[in-house]
Structure 1
Amino acid sequence: MEDAASQNPPNPNPASLAIAPIIAQNVQARSLYWRGWAISQIADELGLPYATVSSWKVRHKWDQASAIERAEEGTLERYLMLIAKEQKTGSDYKEIDLLGRQFERMARQRKYLGEGGNEVDLNPDRAKGARATNKKKDKTKNLITPEMAAQLRADLETGLFGHQSVWLTSTSLRTRMILKSRQIGATWYFARERLLVALETGKNQIFISASRAQANIFRNYIVQWVQKVCGIELKGDPMVIQRGADEDGTPIEAVTLYFLGTNYRTAQGYTGDVIIDECFWIYGFEELFKVASAIATHKQFTRTLFSTPSTLAHEAHPMWTGERVNKRRAKRDRIKIDISHDHLKAGALGADNVWRQIVTVFDAIEGGFDLVDVEELQLEYAADEFDNLFRCIFLDDSQSMFPFALMRRCMVDSWDAWSRDFEPYALRPFGDGEVWIGYDPNASESATADEAALVAVAPPLKPGGKFRILEKQRIKGKDFEGQAAAIKDMAQKYRVTRIGIDTTGAGKAVHQLVSKWFPLAEAYHYSVHLKAQMVLKAKNVISAGRLEFDAGWMDVLQAFMAIKPEFTSKGVTYTADRAGGIGHADVAWAVMHAIYFEPLDSTQSPGGSSTMEIF
């Protein structure tokens, strides 16, 4: 229970509240100055008078600061940015460790330069007895002893829902293929299950996803879990885990966890259990499964595939139905696989030795899953979209303007493909690169009607080049001012030169607010002709292989696939299915708002580009 002080905090000093923003601006201005910015540039960036920044420089003696002071501030900024990231990569953890050691080194330098400093401050090993102490230092890292592994298993088994308990009983099966509802804790569960298998059997684990960023979700779940239960921070990528010693004191062989995106081709020399996430959405499934089969050739290794359903035309669908195994069999030798929900609800081993299971959201709820409200989901999603996401029904995209076969060429591993100029967690992720913003607002005046979509798209560097979707956001439950503020927040991260907003309905007020700080924001008032032009432009861009987004962004893929032609009295228009008056495919429309700035003839330059340095 909270104490009285925490329930009734003292009123802050009004004077301190007024001074706090000034101090923050002072620190930010000093940081920019030490990074080489001119006083005039700093004043423009922070919206301050030139005289104010100049007086801070003189009064606080910025030029007299030592190199150590400047280095400490820059190191602290980077350290705090990495600590604030919700999902950290392996390189992030390495850099956090490096920055921590840099703090220690700079502290020793300060002490050495201060009064009474000596050489021991710079080199602690020179202190008496330091070398002997260091020799005794435990060099073992990523150590999870058998006792710790037992703690992890106990923690897992006490926190499972019914469908996850079924998965736990199937751990040792050679091949598992699970068709599942969205958001029922599959990635969370399999990250834990496979770590325990690695610790208890010594088998390496190879996690494969559509992109490296998606694969790192497994890694993050594992790191967080071990930190919570055992108090140990696992490091490294690949992650080598020491397993301690047995009862006789004999060291137990270490085990390695690999986290791979589209670079799975480099894993052909590995051996171990294979885990494939969202297998029905991965491009090039046949090639991927051949690699996975090679990794897990030996009979003691297992293969686990799980995913929400995509389309009937996906390369993984024949494996699900059994058509893949029957492909080269004579008609009389073909085996029959029952893939009905009634047969697979509890899981069943097929004649092809593949254990299959279907877990709908209703199945999960029946097993005690209480983290979703089905009635709310049915209001938020169109009927066929709900069936696909939550009832495990494959889509027929034959009528879609953007079928999966077309969209799959857009899917890239952004971790590798864009590393030269894009750092998603940096303060300025795309540096000084040009960015166009597209926004598709709520479908009605209600702030809670459905989700709006906001995207940042990098336009081609030259006519005919590629568009890249750098960032996407879903906005829900915000009024017009909140939506406009979200657009402004994104614009402050990039050098934005164009903004396109749908003003057919609720977006009109959002556009008016955005135009106050970005006067050139484009208003798109939908008509049959305009929507047709946008769809045909996007179709042309995608057909030419000129659009890229991270392969882990299934919602972008689904949004484009949902757009279909519809015949009306005014001609052909393009819509996504609606339920309860709620529109969908919002991310796709937001992307099209940005792409549409390029002329239909892509060899022409989109003239009139704004170069206003607002932020």
Structure 2
Amino acid sequence: MPRVLDARRRARSLFWLGWGITEIAEELEQLGIVNDKGKPHPRATIEAWKQRDQWDSVDFLRRMEDCLEVRWQRLVLKDQKTGADYKEIDLLGRQVAQLARVRRFNEPDGHEGDLNEKVGNRNAGPRKKPKKNHFTAEQAAELKRIFEAGLYGYQESWYASSSLRTRMILKSRQIGATYYFAFEALIDAIETGRNQIFLSASKAQAYQFKSYIISFAKLVGVTLSGDPMMITSELRPDEEAAAELHFLGTNFRTAQGRHGNFYFDEFFWVHNFEELNKVASGMATHKKWRKTYFSTPSTVAHPAYPYWTGERRNRRRKKEDRVELDVSHDALKDGAIGPDKIWRHIVTVLDAEAQGCDLFDIDELRDEYADDEFANLFLCNFVDDSLSAFKFNDLTACGVDAMVDWADVDLEAARPYGDREVWAGYDPQESEDGDNAALVIAAPPLNEGGTFRLLEKHQLRGLDYEQQAAFIKATLSRYNCTYVGVDASGIGSAVYQLLAKPDSGVRGVVRLEYSLEFKAQMIMKAQNVIRRGRMAFDLGWNDLISAFISIKKTLTTSGRNVTFKAGRAVGEGHADLAWAVMHILMNEPLDGKERPKGSMEVIE
């Protein structure tokens, strides 16, 4: 149930946008935002909020700051950001900084230099050069105000638990955890001077923390730089002592030697968790450091799962020293400290919505994902991969830190892989309102038995066949693509025909017609490649791992034959990314000598 604080803040924002009190009351009721008794907020309550908080007397600058803050939060929490989104985030940060200058100018001792830093205060003496990565007491206080004002209910629970030694959080996808913990760590670094260490599956993923932190600092006019990032503040007795912020991928060798609070992002998805966790725990050996693990769930086979359930602690302990943990949602939805002194918390998408997060359309998500996928991605249920055609641990072993390990790939460049050959696989939507489509681009092995490197992946939804074909053409125009495997079933036939036209600009288009035999060959080929470690992709591609795991062995409708299925009908799971990858792998002979048999038509 939404909190009164959320309703009050929403009502205030609407009032400042020019809404009347009656209109606000009706809007809150339509949005389902109710009081702690489950009833709509009456008009008299909203009027009381207005009088008590003096909404009418709040200055125009504060109203503008509120508007900018709401827009900024929505952009930061978007799942897939465009270049325009990043530009707007930066613009909003600069606008807030400018408003801060106007506020200083309006103070009794304000001067023209507050509005234009190039002018300066002509009546003042020589100024000291501003300190790099430094927060004044006023900037620190304003940043903390912005932080606390923007918290949802579950994030308030995380904030209240931030002084605890160890936290483990199981969360829904895209509820703002990385955003929150980046902000929490920055506030802690400013106030206490403690080092902050961010561990993610890859360097690129760790840099998401860095991107957020730089954006937060801009809200109060501070520009942060450096890696590690060194931060000082007036709030500490020794303000010259810098807090260090380190952003690390899960190459444990690069993580050794650091000390500080550490945040382990998506720890249920990393490879070699046991080994890496020994190093990570060593970073926070001293009692002043804090350890925070947070992740969406993967599978019960993951090495981190026994840590979550408490089974790992009970190993090799006497019976009387073992502890029993209840890790059900009912037990942990509000957060709880277990007998092993670890604070655990489960936050599903439904919990997030009930505690003020209005970023989701739950009905649309349920329509887009199969029940088991929805339960895994949004309801914090672990997957049992024992029936899957592919094993979780085999897949995670294929992960690499692409930003560090692939020096010859630059996805931001006009030609990400130069003029070298790439292959592509496309799995189309089954219908215009059906599942996602997927495009994957890979660098083929440079020698026999070499590695397929997956460079790019894209998922499309709601596009007709012409729009799908146009997207493929635009994406492949950046590469020297010599092969494109397209599933020509259903709407895929129309996409294939457009790509296969002589004037399409796309070379090596291959028509793939699925059959039981051909699908089995694709699975066997992929199993062989993955088991032998011949496929590599960025460690942050959790959705690709999920796609492969969702493919299960099953019987055909007749019950006479075995097939592999991830439910390609509307309302079921689709594994589109996995099928797209397998289209690529099938361009290599099964045994290195003979082309795999199937219905394939090559258009040069």
Distance in 2 (CA, whole Å) between partners of 1:285 and 1:437 is 32
Partner of 1:490: 475
* Cα RMSD after superposing both structures: 2.3
Q: Contact 2:510–2:602 at 8 Å: present in 1 too?
A: no
Q: Report 1:25-174 matches (<5 A).
A: 138=129, 140-174=131-165
Max Rg structure: 1
1:198 to 189, 198, 220: 189
Distance in 2 (CA, whole Å) between partners of 1:535 and 1:577 is 15
Q: Contact 2:261–2:284 at 8 Å: present in 1 too?
A: yes
Secondary structure at 1:305 match in 2 = strand
**CA, structure 1 residues 498+165, in 2 after alignment: closer, same or farther (shift >3 Å)?**
same
**CA, structure 1 residues 369+251, in 2 after alignment: closer, same or farther (shift >3 Å)?**
closer
Q: Contact 1:176–1:303 at 8 Å: present in 2 too?
A: yes
Which amino acid is the alignment partner of residue 402 of structure 2? S
Distance in 1 (CA, whole Å) between partners of 2:150 and 2:362 is 22
Secondary structure at 2:440 match in 1 = strand
Q: Contact 2:512–2:601 at 8 Å: present in 1 too?
A: no
Q: Report 1:523-538 matches (<5 A).
A: 523-538=511-526
Structure 1 residue 86: Cα displacement: 7.0
Partner of 2:325: 337
Q: Report 1:271-282 matches (<5 A).
A: 271-282=259-270
Q: Contact 2:191–2:233 at 8 Å: present in 1 too?
A: no
Secondary structure at 1:363 match in 2 = helix
Q: Contact 1:463–1:603 at 8 Å: present in 2 too?
A: no
Partner of 1:430: 417
1:268 to 256, 259, 264: 256
Q: Contact 1:344–1:357 at 8 Å: present in 2 too?
A: yes
2:220 to 223, 227, 230: 230
Q: 2:553 aligned with 1:565, yes or no?
A: yes
Q: Deviations over 1:473-509 (max 9, x none)?
A: 1112211111001111111111100001111111000
Which amino acid is the alignment partner of residue 586 of structure 1? D
Secondary structure at 2:485 match in 1 = strand
Q: Deviations over 1:396-442 (max 9, x none)?
A: 000101110221211111112211x1112111111112100111110
Q: Report 1:169-568 matches (<5 A).
A: 169-227=160-218, 229-244=219-234, 251-419=239-407, 421-444=408-431, 446=432, 448-516=433-501, 517=504, 518=506, 520-568=508-556
Q: 2:572 aligned with 1:587, yes or no?
A: no
State the aligned residue count: 477
**CA, structure 1 residues 610+510, in 2 after alignment: closer, same or farther (shift >3 Å)?**
closer
TM-score (norm 2): 0.76
Distance in 2 (CA, whole Å) between partners of 1:566 and 1:611 is 33
Q: Contact 2:265–2:294 at 8 Å: present in 1 too?
A: yes
Q: Contact 2:172–2:377 at 8 Å: present in 1 too?
A: yes
Q: Contact 1:497–1:609 at 8 Å: present in 2 too?
A: no
Distance in 1 (CA, whole Å) between partners of 2:438 and 2:162 is 39
Structure 1 residue 265: Cα displacement: 2.5
Distance in 1 (CA, whole Å) between partners of 2:217 and 2:329 is 36
Structure 1 residue 241: Cα displacement: 1.6
Secondary structure at 1:160 match in 2 = coil
**CA, structure 1 residues 246+573, in 2 after alignment: closer, same or farther (shift >3 Å)?**
closer
Structure 1 residue 604: Cα displacement: 7.0
Structure 1 residue 611: Cα displacement: 12
Distance in 2 (CA, whole Å) between partners of 1:150 and 1:428 is 45
Structure 1 residue 287: Cα displacement: 1.1
TM-score (norm 1): 0.74
**CA, structure 1 residues 87+543, in 2 after alignment: closer, same or farther (shift >3 Å)?**
farther
Q: Deviations over 1:163-194 (max 9, x none)?
A: 11111101111000000111111111111011
**CA, structure 1 residues 243+603, in 2 after alignment: closer, same or farther (shift >3 Å)?**
farther
Structure 1 residue 151: Cα displacement: 1.1
Unaligned runs of 5+ in 1: 1-82, 89-134
Q: Contact 1:207–1:215 at 8 Å: present in 2 too?
A: yes
Q: Contact 2:510–2:603 at 8 Å: present in 1 too?
A: no
Distance in 1 (CA, whole Å) between partners of 2:498 and 2:277 is 50
Which amino acid is the alignment partner of residue 574 of structure 2? H
Distance in 1 (CA, whole Å) between partners of 2:292 and 2:303 is 17
Structure 1 residue 583: Cα displacement: 4.6
- Which 10-residue stretch deviates more, 498-507 or 229-238? 229-238
Which amino acid is the alignment partner of residue 147 of structure 2? L
Structure 1 residue 578: Cα displacement: 5.5
Partner of 1:62: none
Distance in 2 (CA, whole Å) between partners of 1:351 and 1:536 is 46
Identity of aligned residues (%): 53
- Which 10-residue stretch deviates more, 369-378 or 519-528? 519-528
Structure 1 residue 337: Cα displacement: 1.1
Q: Contact 1:439–1:502 at 8 Å: present in 2 too?
A: yes
Q: Contact 1:441–1:502 at 8 Å: present in 2 too?
A: yes
Which amino acid is the alignment partner of residue 322 of structure 2? R
Unaligned runs of 5+ in 2: 1-81, 88-125
Q: Contact 1:87–1:220 at 8 Å: present in 2 too?
A: no
**CA, structure 1 residues 495+224, in 2 after alignment: closer, same or farther (shift >3 Å)?**
same
**CA, structure 1 residues 84+151, in 2 after alignment: closer, same or farther (shift >3 Å)?**
same
Distance in 2 (CA, whole Å) between partners of 1:255 and 1:367 is 33
Structure 1 residue 244: Cα displacement: 4.1
Secondary structure at 2:267 match in 1 = coil
Q: Contact 1:210–1:551 at 8 Å: present in 2 too?
A: yes
Structure 1 residue 352: Cα displacement: 0.6
Distance in 1 (CA, whole Å) between partners of 2:384 and 2:450 is 31
Distance in 1 (CA, whole Å) between partners of 2:172 and 2:452 is 31
**CA, structure 1 residues 414+246, in 2 after alignment: closer, same or farther (shift >3 Å)?**
closer
